Chain A
């Protein structure tokens, strides 16, 4: 069962995503701030995909992504943003090696998110296969 980590300071959103993705057959881990998420990601636990928010108190989504790059942890991500100022971060996101495709605006259609997750996971699998 693939593991998806959901990071959002909004408990209500985390709750929805957790229930939906669980229902769709994923194992869902949750974190309400960047530190907790990094803690999980840096642990032995293997996480297949990260769904994260950008605007958060304490560490932002960007901070988390930078920290991941710093530590060499690679995994597919999907950014969910409620902010319309996302374009401010696009360049940064790109420079961190993530595609614009990974961006999604709230409120998302859960099934669109699911498609994106599936695609991302498939892509990663494909990449890994190619690598192998």
Chain B
């Protein structure tokens, strides 16, 4: 088609001849002229295309720099944007390439040498035309595409906006769901707390809900240690690896520096959230690995407070990051408070339960106690009606518990006693506790004596509501007491009137009581004795005192002890030999000794006499056998002395032998007298005169030694019917003893006196005295304290005086002197 405008053609052809041919063809057209630019290579072609716009490009495919289809491709790419149509020129041998080029966008092809001018022009025109149509189509399509593109963009935007809105909605929904879930959890927890029976069950159930309702991955509850408040002890857990929590509390080198959520809660005392376990720096490698293994991504720790004290921690773990937002934390914090309250509730309940159990046990115990008491228990109300009695109380009165219940307290007394009881009961509201002896009446009418300890019952408001009494049946005891009393009286009579002397002393010998025989025996009154001890009274020498105490002690030890003989000093100075038995007794809670003593002085004397008589016989037998040999010794000695003895020494020895034998004779003769004194010549003897005769004999000798003899003779000149020699011998003995006791410088007083029955001769000296321990032995034959004594003087004297039914008594105080009293009855034969 022609638009009147000259068509600009770019001819790319390296074959100049062919190019000229084509230019000629085109210029030869008269209807239309063309503006033709001919280039021979692609480079020039590209330059021209750059510089100017062409209506069509005639392109030879076989160019020096490019051959075949490539040539088209290169050029087409270069001018695609301009929309300039390309018509390819090809040889006959390469039509397929040209067709391929057409397929790829070349508008037409011409085979060199095969066309004429008109074909060429028409081909140019049709190519341009087609190109133009194509171009405008293309433009329209592009415009359409642009429109579509614009629309699509809008739609996309819209879509995006919708998408965002939808996502927002989704997020809210998740949030809502989560909050709902938390709310649900809180509600269920509260429900559990309300219905829980005990703490472990409650917490186990709550943990289970946290995981199953709350949708958390794991949870656990722990309590602070009783000793270490920083330690957390696992109480219950769900969803965690075994040992995870337990290991938290154990300090180990590999745990060093790590801080789990629970420890942080305990440390800070507040809620702690870990939003991302992977990035939390305080966890440490080990815990992070643990968390990873268990799928924990985030967690929250909630402190449990009871009465403002941190007692434990509740931890949740989630499998997602960042789940614990503000609202959720708030809710869970509330839940933790509720759980803490629940724990406190359970614990209080447990304590109350225990207290209640204890109360029940104690009540049971108390009841058993009351029922098993050996004391009757009787409770009455303020109208004095029986409200309670224990089995023992009913038993005491012979009723059953049921029978007594409700009965008036006073109906168990007779009229008299009831009156008294009413009086005393009137004092109960005053709050007095008192004890009474009452006579009660049993069901069978018999009476019983009872001790009642009565106390008031006061209610919490301080009002009198009744009384409680403890009752002990003392009927038997009273009977026994009476029996005891009467038996005591009998014993008292026995004690008082016993012929033997009875003493009660304590263990230290202090007198407690004694009977009248004892008073007579000692010559002291009971008043003199009581409260004093043996030594104070000088009744006993310390030796005998010790002997007596020893006797007590052995008795107390339960040894069987034979009665002991002790010598006592009576108030009047006389000595008595007592046979003493001691028995431990307990009187009025005191350990005492009952000392039973019998005067055996006379018996002892008889015993001594008997012993002496026996001894005498024995001595007589022996002496008879000894006397003959002595006679031989004595006689032979005398015969020897009668000879001329030239050796003075020998003579002296013989004399000594003879003298000693004579001494023995004296002893033998004394023994003879002692064993059986000869009756001698009995006649009336003036005692004073006889004594004086003896004194005259020895006085000179005594005076030489500074010993003065004082005579205090009775003026009544007492007379005895006896052998004068006997009296002389006894008296001589007494004086000699006194002399020996004094030794040097002293005084001997000789006193005579008499009454109707007796004559008394006393010889008193200021000598050394007789030691107490030998006092008993002084009459024993051959007992002597003297260097040259025979030990027979007193034995013989005693024997003589006894043969006249008299007595010899000694009183002696060591260091002060001795007094010997010879008592001889006036009528002795």
Contacts and interface: CB of A to CB of B under 8 A. Distances in A.
Contacts of B662: 107, 109
Nearest to B641: A110
A113 to B, nearest CB: 9
B676 interface: yes
A84 B632 contact: no
B672 interface: yes
B627 A107 contact: yes
B669 A105 contact: yes
B642 A105 contact: no
Nearest to A108: B631
Which of A82, A84, A106 lies at the interface centre, i.e. has the most chain B CB atoms within 10 A of its CB? A84
Contacts of B671: 84
Given A23-B642, A84-B675, A109-B662, A17 B635 contact: yes
Contact of B631 (A55, A82, A111): A82
B631 A13 contact: yes
Contact of A16 (B619, B625, B639, B664): B639
Contacts of B665: 105, 107
Contacts of A109: 634, 638, 662
A26 interface: no
Contacts of A87: 672, 676, 678
The size bracket of the interface on B is: 20 to 34
A85 interface: yes
Interface in A82-113: 82-87, 90, 105-111
A10 B620 contact: no
A131 interface: no
A106 B631 contact: yes
A108 B634 CA distance: 8
A12 interface: yes
Interface residues of A, number: 24
Contacts of A12: 628, 632
Interface string B613-655: 0000001100111111011111110110010000000000000
B623 A110 contact: no
Nearest to B630: A107
A20 interface: yes
Interface string B365-384: 00000000000000000000
Interface in A5-26: 10, 12-13, 16-17, 19-20, 23
A17 B675 CA distance: 29
A10 B671 CA distance: 23
Contacts of B635: 13, 16-17, 20, 107-108, 110
Contacts of B642: 20, 23
Given A13-B632, A84-B668, A87-B678, A110 B627 contact: no
A34 to B, nearest CB: 17
Given A20-B639, A84-B619, A84-B671, A107 B624 contact: no
B661 interface: yes
A83 B676 CA distance: 13
Nearest to B635: A16
Contact of B633 (A17, A105, A107): A107
Contacts of A90: 678
Contacts of A19: 639
Given A16-B632, A16-B636, A105 B620 contact: no
A82 B669 contact: no
Closest 9 CB pairs of A and B: A82-B627, A16-B635, A107-B631, A107-B630, A107-B634, A106-B627, A84-B620, A106-B631, A84-B672
Given A16-B631, A87-B672, 12 more contacts: A13-B632, A16-B635, A17-B635, A84-B672, A86-B672, A105-B665, A105-B672, A106-B630, A107-B627, A108-B631, A108-B635, A111-B638
Interface of B: 619-620, 623-628, 630-636, 638-639, 642, 661-662, 664-665, 668-669, 671-672, 675-676, 678
17 contacts: A12-B628, A13-B631, A19-B639, A20-B635, A23-B642, A82-B624, A82-B625, A83-B627, A84-B624, A85-B676, A86-B672, A105-B668, A107-B627, A107-B634, A108-B634, A109-B634, A110-B634
